[in-house]
């Protein structure tokens, strides 16, 4: 465990959770921009009101900090989903709202997309070791499964819907919209990335997922 200075301990005891949130927010930004190898703890320290000692005290080492930053990035999207309060909505409306939220969240949080891209480059090494992320994503699938089951029971969704496959479809369009913007816009122009273009894509993405789920769509 790192030895803390008097200033470190003062920050820790006064607002430990705030200090950790500040560190993790900056860490997500740094790792997303530079990747694990090129990101430097010193740069994270420079952007926070803390010290390297305190970072190591909280997170152990650079790898521990990266893993916690990845968990924080996933937690943000899952907390956003939980706040949607979909249980009182009819299944079609609930699914529509979830798809639209995912599209908007990914568009507004490119650092999350970059963190996931980095994890894919590294064969999901940190993700596979994180029980926290697995639990967060189990909860996300459970929420989608509940919507699917309600839709099947009401006869508006086709029977046998796989919530994991449906999650794949939702994630694929929303993720690609951010991850492949540089190459897509270079090849085909920026029209789909204007506000109007994104609004159309958002509507089309919702309709596409509903077409997969709806019982009356052949």
For 6-62, write each residue's pLDDT tens digit. 454 444 456 778 888 899 999 999 999 999 999 999 999 999 878 888 899 999 999
Asked whether the beta carbons of 69 and 126 are under 8 A apart, the reply is no
Predicted local distance difference test score (pLDDT) of residue 108: 96
The predicted model gives 137-163 an average pLDDT of 95
Give all domains of the chain, ordered by start, each with its CATH number. Answer: 1-60 (1.10.10), 70-213 (1.10.357.10)
Please, which pLDDT band fits residue 216 given cuts at 50, 70 and 90?
confident
The predicted model gives 148-172 an average pLDDT of 96
The predicted model gives 113-130 an average pLDDT of 95
Q: Which residues contact 59 (CB under 8 A, 6 or more apart)?
A: 23, 65, 68
Please state, in angstroms and rounded to a whole number, the distance separating the CA atoms of residues 179 and 32.
12
Percent share of the chain, pLDDT over 90: 81
Q: Mean pLDDT across the chain, nearest whole number?
A: 91
Asked whether the beta carbons of 54 and 19 are under 8 A apart, the reply is yes
Residue 17 in tokens: 């959770």
Rounded to two decimals, what is the model's pTM?
0.88
Residue 206 in tokens: 């919702």
Quick count: other Cβ atoms within 10 Å of Cβ 151?
22
Please state, in angstroms and rounded to a whole number, the distance separating the CA atoms of residues 3 and 162.
50
Residue 20 in tokens: 């950790």
Asked whether the beta carbons of 106 and 112 are under 8 A apart, the reply is yes
Per residue in 181-198, pLDDT tens? 999 999 999 999 999 999
Query: E strands along 15-56, which residues?
Result: none
How long, in residues, is the chain?
Answer: 218
∠ CA(28), CA(34), CA(36), 5° rounding?
A: 75
Whether 90 has a pLDDT exceeding 70, the answer reads yes
Please state, in angstroms and rounded to a whole number, the distance separating the CA atoms of residues 153 and 159.
9
Q: How far is CA 7 from the centre of its chain?
A: 34
Whether 63 has a pLDDT exceeding 90, the answer reads yes
Whether 85 has a pLDDT exceeding 90, the answer reads no
Please state, in angstroms and rounded to a whole number, the distance separating the CA atoms of residues 217 and 7.
63
Q: Hey, is 157 helix, strand or coil?
A: strand
Q: Backbone phi, then psi, for 152, in 5-degree steps? A: -65, -45
Please, which pLDDT band fits residue 2 given cuts at 50, 70 and 90?
very low
Predicted local distance difference test score (pLDDT) of residue 7: 52
Q: In terms of pLDDT, which residue wins out, 1 or 18?
A: 18
Whether 118 has a pLDDT exceeding 90, the answer reads yes
Residue 164 in tokens: 């994991």
């Amino acid at each position: 465990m790192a030895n803390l200075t008097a200033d470190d301990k003062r920050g820790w005891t006064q607002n430990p959770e705030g200090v950790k949130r500040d560190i993790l927010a900056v860490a997500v930004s740094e790792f997303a921009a530079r990747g694990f190898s090129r990101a430097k703890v010193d740069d994270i320290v420079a952007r926070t009101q803390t010290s390297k000692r305190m970072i190591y005290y909280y997170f152990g080492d650079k790898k521990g900090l990266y893993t916690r930053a990845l968990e924080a990035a996933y937690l943000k999207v899952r907390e956003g989903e939980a706040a949607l309060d979909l249980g009182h909505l009819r299944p079609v409306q609930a699914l529509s709202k979830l798809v639209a939220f995912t599209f908007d969240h990914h568009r507004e949080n490119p650092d999350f997309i970059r963190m996931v891209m980095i994890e894919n480059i590294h064969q999901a090494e940190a993700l596979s070791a994180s029980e926290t992320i697995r639990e967060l994503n189990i909860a996300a699938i459970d929420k989608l499964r509940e919507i699917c089951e309600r839709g099947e029971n009401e006869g508006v969704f086709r029977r046998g819907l796989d919530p994991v496959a449906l999650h794949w479809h939702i994630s694929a369009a929303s993720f690609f919209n951010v991850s492949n913007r540089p190459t897509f816009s270079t090849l085909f122009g920026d029209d789909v990335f204007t506000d109007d273009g994104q609004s159309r894509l958002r509507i089309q993405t919702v309709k596409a997922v509903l077409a997969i789920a709806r019982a009356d769509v052949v």
